[in-house]
Structure 1
Amino acid sequence: MIICIGAGPGDIGYLTQRGAELIRDADVVAGFEAVLNVVRSLIPETARVISMGYRDQVEQLDKVAVDHHAGKKCVVVFMGDIHFSGFQYLERVERACGHPVESLPGISSAQILASRAKVCFDETTFITFHRRGDLEPFKRHLVHVLQDQRNAIVIPCPWDAARSFMPWHIAKYLIEQGIPPSQPTEVWENLTRAEAEWHGTLAECAEREVSDMSIMLIRTMAPMASQIEPAP
């Protein structure tokens, strides 16, 4: 067995009961060090722990695949939910194993933000820049989302300076593309942990640097009116 598990946004209290059960029963638990630290208290003393980073993830996942093919019960943990910003990592797991693997969804920071900020996903588009490859199609999509008068929840790209696309970069880019500088904007950091929130405009966001553990909400300029029955 091998299964990929979304471990939630950073607080173990947001890990699903099924995810916790699978980790407690695993022979091998693998993932990035920061994610392993979230679930460390659940990992059996007898389990093999395979930690990895961006540079050695392919090599380390090959070790997980060897254990999997040897009949071990293997769990690979992801931060948040696998299908919000971990899909490329899932592809690497499947490439290492040579076949599709099962996945168990988790709670994402986008879901936590929607709850904190009281926005509805029916009226909101989620976009992540936390990915390898060409970001341009996703940048254009974000512009179109805001032009269509939808909220946008955005996970930035925090990698090397040459490629990073953090909230202040995103704000500058959107203003250059004609999005109003006065567009209401929020940046939330370390959700479910040492939380901090900032509220302002795109123009103000363009001048404000934040940590890597951040997520962004750009609110529509024209919120949808309530469609429930009128109040008595």
Structure 2
Amino acid sequence: MIICIGAGPGDVAYLTMRGAELIRNADVVAGFNAVVDVVQSLIPESAEVVLMGYRDQVEKLDIVAAAHHAGKRCVVVFMGDIHFSGFQYLERVERACGHAVETLPGISSAQILASRAKVCFDETTFITFHRRGDLEPFKRHLVHVLNDGRNAIVIPCPWDAARSFMPRHIAAYLLQQGVAPDHPTEVWENLTRSEAEWHGTLADCADQEFSDMSIMLIRTRAPMASQIEPTHKEGAWQPG
């Protein structure tokens, strides 16, 4: 057995019960160092732990695949939800194994942010730049999302300086593309830990520095009106 598990956005409390059970019963637990640290308390002493980084992930996944083909119960842990920012990593796991693998979704930072900031996913588009390859199509998509009057939840790209696309870079790019500078903008850091949050406008954000553990919300300038029936009861709660 081999299964890929979304381990939550940095706090084991956000791991699903099924995910915790699979980790407790695994022969091999693998993943990036920071992600394995999140679930360390659940890993049995008998399990082999395979840690990896960006540079050696291919070689380390070959070790996991060999254990899987030898009949061991293998778990590969992902930060957040596999299908939000981990899809390229999932491709690497499947390439190492030579076949499709089972996945168990987890809670993502985008879901936590939507809850903290009270935005509806029906009215919001999620875009991640935390990926390898050409970012330009995703940058253009973000411009269209904002011009269409939708909120945008954005995961930045925090890698080396030549490729980095952090909140200030994102804001500067959008301003260069003619996006209105007064979009209400929020950047949240360490959502499930210290919960540092910044509020301002898109123009303000272009001058701000944030850590790698950041996620960005760019709100529409014209929020959608409530579509539920109005209430006329005296003293009734009103949204907002």
With the shorter chain as reference, the TM-score category is over 0.9
Return the alpha-carbon distance in structure 1 between the equivalents of residues 216 and 50 of structure 2: 31
How far the C-alpha of 1:28 sits from its partner, in A, is 0.2
How far the C-alpha of 1:22 sits from its partner, in A, is 0.1
Return the alpha-carbon distance in structure 2 between the equivalents of residues 215 and 2 of structure 1: 30
Return the alpha-carbon distance in structure 1 between the equivalents of residues 231 and 110 of structure 2: 31
Q: Which residue of 2 aligns with 1:180?
A: 180
Return the alpha-carbon distance in structure 2 between the equivalents of residues 176 and 13 of structure 1: 40
Q: Does 1:46 align with 2:30?
A: no
Return the alpha-carbon distance in structure 1 between the equivalents of residues 16 and 194 of structure 2: 21
Q: Which residue of 2 aligns with 1:164?
A: 164
Return the alpha-carbon distance in structure 2 between the equivalents of residues 169 and 110 of structure 1: 20
Q: Does 1:18 align with 2:55?
A: no
Q: Which residue of 1 aligns with 2:236?
A: none
Superimposed CA distance per residue, residues 28-80 of structure 1 (whole angstroms, 9 cap, x where no aligned partner): 00000000000000000000000000000000000000000000000000000
Q: Which residue of 2 aligns with 1:221?
A: 221
Runs of 4+ in 1 over 4 A off after TM superposition: none
Q: Which residue of 2 aligns with 1:149?
A: 149
Q: Does 1:212 align with 2:212?
A: yes
Q: Which residue of 2 aligns with 1:72?
A: 72
Q: Which residue of 2 aligns with 1:83?
A: 83
Superimposed CA distance per residue, residues 148-183 of structure 1 (whole angstroms, 9 cap, x where no aligned partner): 000000000000000000000000000000001111
1:194 maps to amino acid:
S
Superimposed CA distance per residue, residues 171-211 of structure 1 (whole angstroms, 9 cap, x where no aligned partner): 00000000011111000000101110000001110000000
Cα-Cα RMSD: 0.3
Number of equivalent positions:
232
2:6 maps to amino acid:
G
Unaligned ranges ≥5, structure 1: none
Find the residue that maps to 2:39 and give its secondary structure.
helix
Find the residue that maps to 1:130 and give its secondary structure.
coil
Find the residue that maps to 2:77 and give its secondary structure.
strand
Superimposed CA distance per residue, residues 133-157 of structure 1 (whole angstroms, 9 cap, x where no aligned partner): 0000000000000000000000000
State TM-score, norm by structure 2: 0.96
